Amino acid sequence: MVEVEYDLGCSLNVPDKLLTWCDLIITHAGKYNIDPYLVAAVMLQESGGQPDVVSVSGAIGLMQIMPKDGIAASFLCANGPCFAERPSTQELLDPEFNINFGTRMLAGHIEKYGSVRDALKAYGPYDVGYYYADI
């Protein structure tokens, strides 16, 4: 395999589909003091770098955040709607807002759970998380 390097203006070595978001990844990872490669990896897994992707469960955008509206509004927890305090679909379709919110959420999980591994498990889909974080 031949490795070819291109200087596309990104100080991160990320797949081409994330290059558009490189500056925002760096900015928000720095803001919340987490590894920008972790943010990029979550973004790649969650959306493949597509800012307008919507999952079958209703998660929105680059970092696949569940909004307070849309299909997610019908998801109920013990104290009412699970995502009532989340941003709207419209807000989450803004790439900068989405990256900021997702990065803040990921940083919060790292702080709450004490490890990147457990934070990834909490960030992933509700029913399985990132169970493969151990691989």
Residue from 3, 5, 46, 85 carrying the catalytic annotation: 46
- Locate tokens 């807000």: which residue? 91
- Give the C-alpha separation, 90 to 87, whole Å: 8
- Give the C-alpha separation, 134 to 61, whole Å: 25
- Give the C-alpha separation, 82 to 73, whole Å: 8
- Does the annotation count 46 as an active-site position? yes
DSSP letters, 15-55, are -GGGGGGHHHHHHHHHHTT--HHHHHHHHHHHHTT-TT-B-
Catalytically active residues, by annotation: 46
